[in-house]
Amino acid sequence: MTYALAALALIVFVALLYLGRGYWAWVLGVALAFAAWFNAGVASPNLFWTCAAIAAVLALVFGVPALRRGVISGHLMRVVRGILPRMGDTERIALEAGTVWFDGDLFSGDPDWRKLLDFKPKPLTDKERAFLDGPVEELCRMVDDFQIAQDRDLSPAVWDYMKRQRFFGMIIPEEFGGRGFSAIAHSAVVTKLSSRSITAAVTVMVPNSLGPGELLVHYGTEEQRNHYLPRLARGEDIPCFALTEPGAGSDAASGKSKGIVCKGKWKGKEITGIRLTFNKRYITLAPVATVVGLAFRLYDPDHLLGKVEDIGITCALIPRDTPGIVIGNRHDPMGVPFQNGPVSGTDVFVPLDYVIGGQKGVGIGWRMLMESLAAGRSVSLPSLYCGASQLATRVTGAYGTVREQFNMQIGRFEGIEEALARIGGYAYFMNAARVLTCGAVDAGAKPAVLSAIVKAYLTDGMRDRLNDAFDIQAGAAICRGRRNILGRGFIGVPIAITVEGANILTRSLIVFGQGAIRCHPFVHDEMVAVAENDLPGFDRAFFGHVGFVYKNMARSFFLALTGGMLASAPVSDSTAGYFRAITRYSAAFALVTDIALATLGGALKRREKISGRMADALAWMYIGAASLKRFHDEGRPARDRAVLDWSLQLALWKVQEALRGVIENLPNRAAAAILCPLVFPLGARRRPPSDDLGARLARDLLDDKELRLHLTSDIYVPKTDEPGLGKLESALDLVVAAQHVQNKVREAARTRRLGDLPREKMADEALSQGIITKDEHARLAAAEKARDEAIQVDAFDPGTYRALK
């Protein structure tokens, strides 16, 4: 009986912990344990009843909120107040900007998969599809990226076409003359353009991203919107937004640009205005901008607006021709000639009406920027380099078949297979994350954490995969000219890594630093309660947090022990294991998050290696979830099974390694010793995708035309007579069509029927022997001619070469 009661106590305790009933786990578990102790008769009745009374008092104190608040929670709140990091207003606004979406599920330890799979991203409308198939295709046809590099700008005809077709007004509502496009349409336009020209894509992307247009739509006065938005939509005004300074890059809130509220002359009248002094750099479109969006800190020393002297960061719109503005010089970002340059001014006086939102907009500029960035960062750069990733997939899939060495298509070499698998796998999950995150934005979310993930991890992924593509194309990739397909995108890689928050900072500070506060079920509520001295709110959040930790301790251990089998999955097919695996890691991630927060406290923000690894775990869980969502939404095609398996196995291995790295490097080694058996009771057993799986994916890219086209369906493909991708596509079709003829000739050569003839003579001999027909001979000759043309590179005479830029 004693052993049965003890066993029952343990089972009840663990089961209730697993179900998230931490309080009742302790109450019932302890009660049954006392019953077993009493039944065993190993202690005197007095000792037993004394211990039981103590346990009952503790259960009462912790179980009755009113009593708990009076006895315990007040003391705890004072302790927590001392542990929490101190935050300034700008840091608090940045942390609170945007909304929580599926990232909250991943922090919960138990993602709601049915909610994710039932979510329907907004499809392209007929108008949006027509724009992609019409003006965007035409713009891609018009631009010549090599010529753009020589001219150091887009041609006047291209600038005029973009203005007339309202490329700069995609996010401006139709009522103001814009196109009113969704996030996914905006993203699709940038993705297609980026596969043709980084310069054209950036030029279109910036006015539709964080800048005057978006700020006016959400925060502008009626007068500002009516004046500027139609002009911006038609391209009559070209906007730029000046935020970055020499001393304020990633730490944009620390800028020294300032405005002083004062009296001054404006058009002959004395008015209350702002005298601005600023020095900005890296401002895209600044050299050609007609209106400058400017972020600065506003001061009111004479209290002309109110009692506050340091009003805070403010955003204003200033026409280019305002006296005192210095604008027009250009930076040269890696030789990619999109318009970018400095903007400065000293004692530039402007009316107060130039502030976005008018007087109501003073001091809230940082909130405007952070809330806009939470959504805008989801679209622009991820789309730019999803286009580059898809282009790399398209090119290397074709080049691996067209290019031959040692009498074999280079794509059949295992070293090339390895790189091809990475290129194809990344193209699949990068686009999955892009589409899902844009879908969240279109559904009304402003997913600050997820936008940071797709910006940092998709641009990093593109960097690595372009390196792979260069390895495959080798000399053809490094020789500049019109035949070069990937070079300009490769040169532009550092730009994407750097802008909108350098990736190092985004990974190590923003993704997990913001996520641990905004996405965690309890941390934000605890911080707010402490800041507002809200004892009941703190009590609810803190003890809910304690139960959450207990729950994830049990779930992490048992899900790891069973390989996730105790977790539910929204499907019953062979992908169910992937859903369960992410759930298992979600529970582990939630547990490790809480232990890191508890042991490091405010010091966690300075432990960037720890927070960076936690960001890796969160990011790869989201990438895995996005890949599963894509596979589900596209009808679970057998065609995509190898690329899905490769993507999920990589993502899950990355999550495992990130969590393992956190535990191995956690400063509190006692906490690490507890975490290790809870998270990895059987060790870290996951492995990256196998060689066989990678080979299968590479072969699918080479042999399955449908998969290659599917993975690259968002890019621009030129006509077959155009040097570069056009002729490569043409060569691929001819080589594939003649493959069976080539096989006949090679078999005849292998069996010595063709003697020792050089390769270029074998087809003629095969024809003369009747091994192939005249029609087959012609097809083979056409394929060989196209193959030879497709692998050529540009060469320049000395005079032309000296003039190249």
Token representation of residue 289 = 């901008």
Q: 721 in helix, strand or coil?
A: coil
> What is the rounded (10 degree) CA torsion for 416, 419, 424, 429?
170
Are the C-beta atoms of residues 260 and 301 closer than 8 Å to each other? yes
Q: Give the list of residues 6+ apart from residue 69 with CB closer than 8 angstroms, or none.
A: 535, 536, 539
Quickly list DSSP for 288-308: G-SEEEEEEEEE-TT-SS-S-
Whose tokens are 């009462």? That residue is 60
Closest CA to 278 of 328, 209, 327: 327
**CA 299 from chain center: how many Å?**
36
- Distance in angstroms (rounded) separating the CA atoms of residues 62 and 73: 10
Closest CA to 205 of 635, 500, 431: 500
Are the C-beta atoms of residues 27 and 59 closer than 8 Å to each other? yes
Kindly report the number of other CB atoms within 10 A of residue 685's CB atom. Answer: 9
Quickly list DSSP for 177-232: TS----HHHHHHHHHHHHTT-HHHHHHHHGGGSTTHHHHHHHH--HHHHHHHHHHH
Q: Within 69-211, where are the H helices?
A: 74-83, 89-96, 102-108, 113-118, 126-131, 137-142, 145-151, 156-164, 183-194, 198-205
Are the C-beta atoms of residues 342 and 279 closer than 8 Å to each other? yes
Out of 500, 526, 729, 776, the active site residue is 500
Angle at 554 between CA 541 and CA 32, to 5 degrees: 95
- Distance in angstroms (rounded) separating the CA atoms of residues 273 and 265: 9
Are the C-beta atoms of residues 480 and 422 closer than 8 Å to each other? no
Q: Within 492-635, where are the H helices?
A: 493-498, 503-505, 512-518, 523-531, 535-561, 576-600, 608-633
Q: 175 in helix, strand or coil?
A: helix
Residues facing 295 on adjacent strands: 315
- Distance in angstroms (rounded) separating the CA atoms of residues 51 and 47: 6
Query: Checking DSSP bridges between strand 291-299 and strand 258-266, what pairing results, if any?
Result: parallel
Are the C-beta atoms of residues 254 and 248 closer than 8 Å to each other? yes
Token representation of residue 480 = 């500049």
- Distance in angstroms (rounded) separating the CA atoms of residues 162 and 185: 16
Closest CA to 388 of 477, 494, 462, 464: 462
Token representation of residue 646 = 């490769």
Are the C-beta atoms of residues 9 and 37 closer than 8 Å to each other? no
- Distance in angstroms (rounded) separating the CA atoms of residues 296 and 277: 9
Token representation of residue 398 = 């074709």
- Distance in angstroms (rounded) separating the CA atoms of residues 654 and 615: 11
Classify residue 605 as exposed, middle or buried by CB count within 10 Å of its CB (0-12, 13-18, 19+).
middle
Residues facing 276 on adjacent strands: 259, 348
Angle at 658 between CA 654 and CA 660, to 5 degrees: 115
Query: Checking DSSP bridges between strand 269-284 and strand 258-266, what pairing results, if any?
Result: antiparallel
Residues facing 327 on adjacent strands: 343
128 classed as catalytic: no
Kindly report the number of other CB atoms within 10 A of residue 795's CB atom. Answer: 9
* Residue positions annotated with a catalytic role: 500
